[in-house]
Structure 1
């Protein structure tokens, strides 16, 4: 998953990196390549995919992507992006081969005009495409209409792919209704695919994985029509608590909802939004755990570790460093401040970070039983204020309760899992149901 919050220019062309500015509420006004905002979160770069020692690539076992059209809108198109086994950036051409974006040394984004928009069959029909090789850091994009991708020279001299940005209301693809499924499929590890709402909610899609063993796994995703319903509930929540939840909904010029931004992504547009939202809660947490232990079950070899607040930091037994008070941005992004993982952090620290951030994100630290994390079941999440009402409402409309709404949604007590993941060895078919599962 690639969260947007940590904005960092991934292009050698700093000219195109700029602060996002948008009206409130957000109404898209698509621009051209001069309106692109290029960051590490909306680019795919060449990687070094070295094979493990003594391993060679065997014959590729084809993976079929089967797309069921349950969508009642206009023509749908499919795009596949990622890194091939050599680490090169690729897109899937309509002829079933990899297309390799080439910026030809240009420091100005170059529009990709190759045939990479794979058309889906009409509503009620299924479309099948077969990937020509293994793929890592992959995305399967589904769009109502055609998306615009670009390529530009990267800092290492290779060509990088610039993808549509959900956060930029002036992105050339801003007015297109789209979403994606993230996946990696390698010979060594098999497939790992997920439905992610970490950054935004877009075109509704569910998925079913079939392995060579015959095993099937399913994540149903959101219900059909969920975008409008979630936007209305966010509007109701804004009216109830005075917070700008309604502004997470991105609309077209006619006011029709296109997508819903997660709060961490919205902060890239409005950095001061809800800046003090968790202040009182954090203070109560600090007071509580100054006088009693917060126990983190690492669900690993370290077992359970005791943590206490000492001054401005929470410290945990066996941890290599402490945790200062988080900000709202730290809590929603789970990758900065006390929740940033550094080189050299030990196993205890790496286990505490996701469990501690999940507890703040779901506001379970002050609940009865919240002194042990994770221990409370999912019906306790988001029940105390302040909380992340985006995640609460999105989970409410997931048909099976599964789908990442933040990066550590896979932190749960043993036996539970809210993450929308399918995974396994020797995948045969990854079926995507576009427009929502039939009731």
Structure 2
């Protein structure tokens, strides 16, 4: 299935390599580890970024020209975590500050990549295997899928849209009242570039900052007189936390009745970004509770089920106030899975593939039809 125009890809990763194929696209690499940021070339060799500046200075050209339509190109992915960027018709403009790489931020109208059609995948490759996903956490743009080949030769993949799903998503978003259509960004020639995720839409002034307020108020009212039970670990059914709103704050207690964490009433941006008032530290209490709340707010399941997480998709996005962006993305995915917000993996609804002994990875740039 052909794609339009030339694609350029950039990889975020690090160190040791295994083969990987960027299907029908091309690659250039940006890499980051806990110790050093950099990029990897087509052979998987890591290169540290040079020192940046203020204002930001141009980064080295890490792009790899993509294959012809209907063809593939093999590159090597080094071990670590990073991103694989791909763009159509024009290379992405990466800059370096004194603090490292400046990632594209197209919610900013002055970002140099604002009028470039591009997207990216995220992956982690280490001694435990490969995790690679398709993501819409920041935006929905050029369609693609990811896959991994297992040792037996079979392939697992995710991220493909339904037939007509690309246009179907944008048409559905245009038809959604309340400002959701304003998330769509186009180029001056009429080319659809992307839809911003709602948090970035609020930042850009495209979506009202109060879009989730009515739902939040109803949740706070409900749990002022009843209890929200959170069981954050599927393999630990006896680990439960109990939430009640008092004085405008939702306090969570453990089974002994001790308060373990508290949440201020979240605003829409906190919900869409799963941060700020819904911050989720990498711990065993607040983080797991917060990610459960984040999923419940985005999917609007907190009012219909006092036991969270609610992993039955029948209840997802049924309230009139919900994350319409996430709702419409999931509706167009061939397998129903997507990373439409940060904790879309609650209940395993994320577009992620993993294997402990990967032979090859695939990024397939799909048609726009």
- TM-score where L is the length of structure 1: 0.73
Query: Deviation of residue 147 (structure 1)?
Result: 2.3
Partner of 1:52: none
Selected match of 1:135 from 42, 61, 80: 80
Selected match of 2:285 from 348, 353, 367: 348
Query: Deviation of residue 295 (structure 1)?
Result: 1.2
Q: How does 1:240-259 map to 2 (within 5 A)?
A: 243-259=178-194
- CA deviations on 1:76-108 (whole Å, 9 max, x unpaired) are 542221136x833222335653333213x6333
Q: Is the 8 A contact 2:166 2:368 kept in 1?
A: no
Query: Deviation of residue 231 (structure 1)?
Result: 1.9
Partner of 1:173: 113
Q: Is the 8 A contact 2:166 2:332 kept in 1?
A: no
Higher strand fraction: Structure 1 or Structure 2?
A: 2
Matches of 2:115 and 2:217, distance apart in 1: 42
Selected match of 1:106 from 53, 56, 59: 53
Count of aligned pairs: 352
Matches of 2:275 and 2:162, distance apart in 1: 30
Compared with structure 1, are the counterparts of its residues 282 and 212 closer, same or farther at alpha carbon in structure 2 (3 Å cutoff)? same
Query: Deviation of residue 418 (structure 1)?
Result: 0.9
- CA deviations on 1:285-310 (whole Å, 9 max, x unpaired) are 22222222211112254523322222
Matches of 1:340 and 1:317, distance apart in 2: 18
1:221 corresponds to 2:160: yes
Query: Deviation of residue 185 (structure 1)?
Result: 1.1
Compared with structure 1, are the counterparts of its residues 428 and 309 closer, same or farther at alpha carbon in structure 2 (3 Å cutoff)? same
Cα RMSD of the aligned pairs, angstroms, is: 2.7
Selected match of 2:230 from 284, 296, 300: 296
Tell me the SS of whatever aligns to 1:365: coil
Query: Deviation of residue 333 (structure 1)?
Result: 1.1
Query: Deviation of residue 214 (structure 1)?
Result: 4.9
Partner of 2:217: 283
Matches of 2:201 and 2:214, distance apart in 1: 22
Q: Is the 8 A contact 1:78 1:117 kept in 2?
A: yes
Compared with structure 1, are the counterparts of its residues 284 and 163 closer, same or farther at alpha carbon in structure 2 (3 Å cutoff)? closer
Partner of 2:8: none
Selected match of 1:363 from 300, 304, 310: 300
Selected match of 1:209 from 148, 173, 191: 148
Matches of 2:143 and 2:163, distance apart in 1: 7
Partner of 1:196: 135
Tell me the SS of whatever aligns to 1:91: strand
Tell me the SS of whatever aligns to 1:322: strand
1:380 corresponds to 2:315: yes
Q: Is the 8 A contact 1:224 1:436 kept in 2?
A: no
- CA deviations on 1:369-422 (whole Å, 9 max, x unpaired) are x1111235112211111111111101111111111100111112xxxx211111
Matches of 2:31 and 2:274, distance apart in 1: 24
Q: Is the 8 A contact 2:26 2:73 kept in 1?
A: no
Selected match of 1:400 from 326, 335, 340: 335
Q: Is the 8 A contact 1:204 1:223 kept in 2?
A: no
Selected match of 1:233 from 146, 149, 172: 172
Selected match of 1:315 from 251, 254, 258: 251
Matches of 1:437 and 1:254, distance apart in 2: 17
Matches of 2:43 and 2:272, distance apart in 1: 41
- TM-score where L is the length of structure 2: 0.86
Partner of 1:91: 39
